[in-house]
């Protein structure tokens, strides 16, 4: 009898807008962010085993820990009675890239383990990271507070995009530390968007408050944004260094991605869709 294998996809999380609206006494920053997910991500396979183990493969697996530091194993150990499982994580997303790769992996692990072990998802998943709750339901949402306050938004129009990472890792804490103003206004009212151009125009009136401090720490981010400028909107996601450019069609996204790959062959570049 073939052992049960559960597969989950961990889609990249994109902060289309990210406003930092305050900071709690415990140090946690308050956000108001419009989040969506790309049609590209890591892949997680889990199967029953005598003990818990993690194997990481894929083109972007270098440097990814396979011990207790990995959020996938931390997620598995949150279950009340964790059983054994062999976990294989295929890394297609760059690390420390502002696209929630680790959080998406953790969320995929929670969903996969819940199915494999026939257990409910634990209540305390936010301890794994502020982005884990939104990654459990990968859809466009407004994310407020420290990531726990999730609400529906008007439907996104079809969005094509190019995602670019200049192959550098940017750690989140130094970016927040470099942010000068931590009490900014939240997102403006969200209308009904009819197409990508209309949506990009609304997004252009919003911000990513972490973009400027991230550029100060990693100036190549500005070069990345410049490479995306033929798009409707070029912006950094999360705390960087991944940036995205919104496009009006799949063809335009592919053309832009091809152009950037030719000019920067060492960068990570993908044409994708957002939803």
Q: What is the pLDDT of residues 126-161, one digit of tens each?
A: 899 989 999 999 999 999 999 889 999 999 999 999
Tell me: the pLDDT tens digits for 29-67? 999 999 999 999 999 999 999 999 999 999 999 999 999
Q: What is the pTM of this model?
A: 0.95
Find the length of the chain. Answer: 275
Residues 139, 226 within the same domain = no
Q: Is the pLDDT of residue 267 over 70?
A: yes
Whether 131 is a known active-site residue: answer: yes
Tell me: the pLDDT tens digits for 84-95? 999 999 999 999
93: three-class secondary structure by DSSP: coil
Instruction: Please indicate, yes or no, if residue 1 is contained in any of the structural domains.
Output: no
Alpha helices by DSSP H, the chain: 71-76, 101-117, 132-136, 172-178, 196-204, 211-217, 220-227, 250-263
Into how many domains does the chain fold?
2
- The count of C-alpha atoms lying within 13 angstroms of the C-alpha of 106, restricted to the half-sphere facing its C-beta, is 27
Instruction: Please indicate, yes or no, if residue 215 is contained in any of the structural domains.
Output: yes
Residues 27, 141 within the same domain = yes
Residues 134, 195 within the same domain = no
Q: Tokens in use for 50? A: 């005598």
Instruction: Please indicate, yes or no, if residue 169 is contained in any of the structural domains.
Output: yes
pLDDT band at 2 (very low <50, low <70, confident <90, very high): low
- Report pLDDT for 174: 96
Of 145, 172, 207, the position where a domain reaches its end is 145
Write down the mean pLDDT value for the chain. Answer: 96
Tell me: the pLDDT tens digits for 164-181? 999 999 999 999 999 999
Residues 25, 86 within the same domain = yes
Whether 91 is a known active-site residue: answer: no
Residues 87, 187 within the same domain = no
Q: How far apart are CA 231 and CA 225, in angstroms?
A: 10
Give residues with Cβ within 8 angstroms of 138, minimum separation 6.
11, 13, 37, 104, 107
Q: Which of 13, 32, 91, 209 is catalytic?
A: 13
Instruction: Please indicate, yes or no, if residue 208 is contained in any of the structural domains.
Output: yes
Residues 203, 251 within the same domain = yes
Residues 106, 180 within the same domain = no
CATH number at residue 257: 3.30.70.890
Instruction: Please indicate, yes or no, if residue 115 is contained in any of the structural domains.
Output: yes
Residues 19, 117 within the same domain = yes
Q: Which of 32, 42, 105, 131 is catalytic?
A: 131
Of 90, 125, 145, the position where a domain reaches its end is 145
Residues 171, 108 within the same domain = no
Instruction: Please indicate, yes or no, if residue 139 is contained in any of the structural domains.
Output: yes
Residues 206, 91 within the same domain = no
Of 145, 167, 199, the position where a domain reaches its end is 145
Residues 16, 100 within the same domain = yes
Q: Cα 265 to chain center, whole Å?
A: 23
CATH number at residue 56: 3.30.230.10
pLDDT band at 81 (very low <50, low <70, confident <90, very high): confident
Parent domain of 209: 155-274
Residues 57, 91 within the same domain = yes
Instruction: Please indicate, yes or no, if residue 182 is contained in any of the structural domains.
Output: yes
Q: Nearest Cα to 20, choosing from 244, 225, 274, 214? A: 214
Instruction: Please indicate, yes or no, if residue 170 is contained in any of the structural domains.
Output: yes
């Amino acid at each position: 009898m073939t052992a049960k294998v559960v597969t989950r996809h961990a889609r990249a999380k994109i902060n289309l807008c990210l406003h930092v609206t305050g900071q709690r006494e415990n140090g946690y920053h308050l956000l108001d962010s419009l989040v969506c997910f790309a049609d590209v991500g890591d892949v997680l396979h889990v199967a029953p085993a005598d003990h818990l183990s993690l194997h990481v493969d894929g083109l972007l697996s270098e440097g990814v820990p396979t011990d207790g530091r990995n959020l996938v194993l931390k997620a598995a150990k949150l279950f009340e009675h964790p059983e054994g499982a062999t976990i294989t994580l295929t890394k297609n997303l760059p690390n420390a890239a502002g696209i929630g790769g680790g959080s998406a992996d953790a969320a995929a692990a929670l969903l996969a383990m819940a199915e494999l072990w026939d257990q409910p998802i634990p209540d305390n998943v936010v301890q794994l990271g502020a982005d884990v709750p939104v990654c459990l339901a990968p859809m466009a949402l407004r994310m407020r507070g420290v990531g726990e306050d999730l609400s529906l938004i008007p439907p996104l129009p079809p969005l094509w995009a190019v995602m670019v990472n200049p192959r550098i890792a940017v750690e989140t804490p130094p970016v927040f530390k470099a942010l000068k103003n931590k009490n900014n206004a939240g997102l403006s009212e969200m209308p009904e968007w009819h197409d990508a151009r209309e949506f990009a125009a609304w997004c252009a009136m919003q911000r990513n408050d972490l973009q400027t401090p991230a550029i100060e720490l990693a100036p190549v981010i500005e070069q990345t944004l410049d490479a995306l400028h033929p798009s409707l909107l070029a912006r950094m996601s999360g705390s960087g260094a991944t940036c995205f450019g919104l496009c009006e069609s799949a063809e335009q996204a592919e053309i832009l991605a091809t152009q950037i790959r030719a000019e920067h062959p060492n960068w990570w570049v993908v044409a994708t869709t957002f939803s």
